[in-house]
Amino acid sequence: MTRCLQYLFFLAVRLAVTLLLGLNIRRRELLPKDGPAIIVANHNSHLDTLVLMCLMPLSKIARVRPVAAADYFMRTRWLAWFSTRILGIIPIDRSGAARSRDPLAPCHEALERGEILILFPEGTRGQPEEMATLKKGVAFLAAKAPEVPVVPVFTHGLGKALPKGSFLLVPFFCDIFVGAPIHWPGSRPDFMTQLNAAFETLSREKTFAPWE
């Protein structure tokens, strides 16, 4: 029953995205078709997760797992059910309360099951079209699963279509740039250098008008 609800929800979201947003997707073929894999993207809007999931085949949607903060998505019983059962979110405890357990353990387990993770290494939604410093959590994941490809994705326009703090969707043309997979180079500093360079390259691929 839950799988059916998830399928119907993302079918509806895909139709809404198609009708309300213009998506220009470059190199869609670089997105992972099977797991284990990690997709990392910049984060400006609640649309980010939904749009990225809509880029994946509906037949695979149950194996695509966004990673998000437990304190945000576990506020109520209904929100927790919807987030984990329909969106498929893996909630991460950021409080540090359970120090005996690696907070990224659920992510490691998901990769071992062959699932595809979606992470936002900035950690939180930032100002529209401004990338914050990338956090190193994804490097710890990559270090423990060095065979898993990490695919960088840069999005532009989603922060204007549904800005932080807004609940009103504004039809807006959005660009999505998919980069070549990054493979574990042997050290966390080298990995973060490659990831930052990938986002820098993707963000400069097209000239955009100044943000208003």
**Tens digit of pLDDT for each residue in 107-132?**
999 999 999 999 999 876 555 566 77
**Start-end of H helices in the chain:** 2-20, 47-54, 70-73, 77-81, 105-112, 137-144, 158-161, 188-203
CB 72 within 8 A of CB 150: no
CA distance 211 to 36: 36
User: How far is C-alpha 83 from the chain's CA centre?
Assistant: 14
- Which residue segments constitute the domains of the chain, with CATH numbers given? 2-203 (3.40.1130.10)
**What is the average pLDDT value for the chain, to the nearest integer?**
85
**What is the pTM (predicted TM-score) of this model?**
0.89
**Which tens digits make up the pLDDT trace of 43-90?**
887 788 999 999 999 999 999 999 988 776 677 788 888 888 999 999
